Structure 1
Amino acid sequence: MPYKSVVSATTTEKQPKKRYPGEAKGFVEEMRFVAMKLHTKDQAKEGEKEADVQPIMKWEPSIQGYLRFLVDSKVVYDTLESIIEKASYPSYVEFRNTGLERSEKLAKDLEWFKEQGHEIPEPSAPGLSYAHYLEELSEKDPQAFLCHFYNVYFAHTAGGRMIGKKVAEKILNSKELEFYKWDGDLSQLLNNVRETLNRVAESWSREEKNHCLEETEKSFKHSGEILRLILL
């Protein structure tokens, strides 16, 4: 073998495999890393985005805006839970009955608002658009769909709870809605889903994992549009 070829082969052998941020801890940690970078600087220390709305502390929510947010959120959770139940891909079955489901809780909350004399609005464009996108994605692109599944459910248990608390303090006399309550130990429920996602992702190629990670920005875009309904 010519000298140059020997050197080239040796160099190739010694090149370390590229490691992705969080990869050593499992794929969910990779997803978390990408998601945190998409937060604004005031939302998380890892955040890199500049805020395009006021900080939550300065929000002036209204009951009507909050109801729009809850109604559109329910459309999204109804869709996610229907997709998992239908299971177009076998891996979706793994995410049934996780304890993170929110559809029934939201139905109870909307019924409570109705009992208080509030008119429940019809679903609006942000929720309907996101639900339609999730339906389409779930039929043809399981990696991208599970990116949305992860971000919607996990974000609600973190930033979502904080937002719910602040809004409740301002317009609901600090009432805690069912949307922000879970049956059982939430940290354990999250850990169970985390382990399932890691297990499912073990069968994915690196390209499929990267494709999943690239979908994170779209998840943030859709969820952000629904969140902004609170301020209308």
Structure 2
Amino acid sequence: MKLSIALLLTAGSATAFAPSSLVHSSYSRHLNLATKSDFCKHSALCMSAAEANVAESAAIADKDTDTNATSEFPPILQELREVAMRLHTREQAPREGKAEEPKKPAEPHVPTQADYLQFLVDSYVVYVALEEIVNEVDALAPFRNSGLERTQALETDIAYMCEKFDLQRPDAGKAGSMYAAQLKNMIKSDEDVPEFMCHYYNFYFAHLAGGRMIGKQMSKLLLDGEALEFYKWGENVNGMKDTVKGQIEELAKGWNRQERDSCIDATAAAFMGGGGINGYLYGRNPH
């Protein structure tokens, strides 16, 4: 079912979370106004939850995918990109954006280490769900051990954050738990694979694109420049991306128009799922 733009842009809204008393002393909770202004101007974290994920996801659906001349359909990644770009605002995509501009907060939320830890924990439970589904569904066998998996890296980072900043590992929050459950309930048969692949593609590749920008922002703001394992894919990351994109296209060659539409129509829900988790980083989700 397609979701309205209005609902999409309000995804993940909640009361702001107060900075934790356990925040490491090297991070000041009282950034000066110039720092806050710069953070708001340049960071995707100042967007609504869904908007931030739209910006990340659409960035990775590039235009140079080869068209299969023998197919009656264009490449599936091209179709996904076209839908994603329509979910941009005019500010994000002047030529193609059609979504309404969300209301910007009067005062940007400055994330804490506790916010970031919750983001990592919720991301972890979603990646666990994605990997379990890929390992259990025969049609998804080509995507096993792709090199894009993130669960082990996130386990390392969560342990690091807890030890470094004297934080207790939280339970998965509502955003991550609900999205993981949604994914697990999505796959009942091979007919559900196209819908799932939209979520798979958007979640993995969003973190490979705009997600890396968020990682750099958080590293500077909260981790004294330390880079987390979550954002390390090795030297051949572009090769891995190209391989997975090719596998998605190969899988989609066997889909009819209805199955392709099932994949494309899941785009808004995929942005909502990922965007809800981003909400921990700018005060939209309580934890």
Quote how far apart the aligned CAs of 1:44 are. Answer: 4.7
1:202 is matched with 253
Quote how far apart the aligned CAs of 1:41 are. Answer: 4.1
Cα–Cα, structure 1 residues 184 and 77, in superposed 2: closer, same or farther, change >3 Å? same
Which of 144, 148, 151 aligns to 2:202? It is: 151
1:131 is matched with 180
Quote how far apart the aligned CAs of 1:94 are. Answer: 1.1
Aligned residue identity for 2:99 = K
Q: Secondary structure at the match of 1:139?
A: coil
Q: Secondary structure at the match of 1:226?
A: helix
TM-score (norm 2): 0.67
Which of 68, 80, 86 aligns to 2:118? It is: 68
Instruction: Give CA-to-partner distance per residue, 1:14-65, whole Å, 9 cap, x none.
Output: xxxxxxx98946212222232233234444554433453759xx65111111
Cα–Cα, structure 1 residues 106 and 54, in superposed 2: closer, same or farther, change >3 Å? farther
Report if aligned partners of 1:23, 1:29 keep a CA contact under 8 Å in 2. Answer: no
Structure with bigger gyration radius: 1
1:80 is matched with 130
1:9 is matched with none
Structure-1 separation of matches of 2:66 and 2:97: 19
Structure-2 separation of matches of 1:149 and 1:179: 17
Structure-2 separation of matches of 1:217 and 1:155: 14
Cα–Cα, structure 1 residues 151 and 135, in superposed 2: closer, same or farther, change >3 Å? same
State which drifts further: 164-173 or 191-200.
164-173
Quote how far apart the aligned CAs of 1:148 are. Answer: 0.3
Aligned residue identity for 2:216 = K
1:47-196 paired onto structure 2 within 5 Å:
47-52=97-102, 54=104, 60-87=110-137, 90-116=138-164, 117-140=166-189, 141-196=192-247
Cα-Cα RMSD: 2.1
In the TM superposition, structure 1's runs of 4+ consecutive aligned residues that sit over 3 Å from their partners are 21-25, 39-48, 50-55
State which drifts further: 22-31 or 200-209.
22-31
Aligned residue identity for 2:145 = N
Q: Secondary structure at the match of 1:76?
A: helix
1:37 is matched with 86
Structure-2 separation of matches of 1:53 and 1:121: 30
Structure-2 separation of matches of 1:39 and 1:196: 27
Instruction: Give CA-to-partner distance per residue, 1:45-103, whole Å, 9 cap, x none.
Output: 54433453759xx651111111111100000001100111111xx32111101111011
Cα–Cα, structure 1 residues 217 and 133, in superposed 2: closer, same or farther, change >3 Å? same
Aligned residue identity for 1:93 = A
1:27 is matched with 76
Identity %: 38
Flag structure 2 segments of 5+ consecutive residues without an equivalent: 1-62, 68-73
Aligned residue identity for 1:38 = L
Say which structure, 1 or 2, has more relative contact order (CA 8 Å, 6+ apart). Answer: 2
Structure-2 separation of matches of 1:215 and 1:49: 17
Figure out how many residues of one structure are paired with residues of the other and give that number. 208
Aligned residue identity for 2:151 = S
1:211 is matched with 262
Flag structure 1 segments of 5+ consecutive residues without an equivalent: 1-20
Aligned residue identity for 1:68 = Q
State which drifts further: 64-73 or 169-178.
169-178
TM-score (norm 1): 0.82
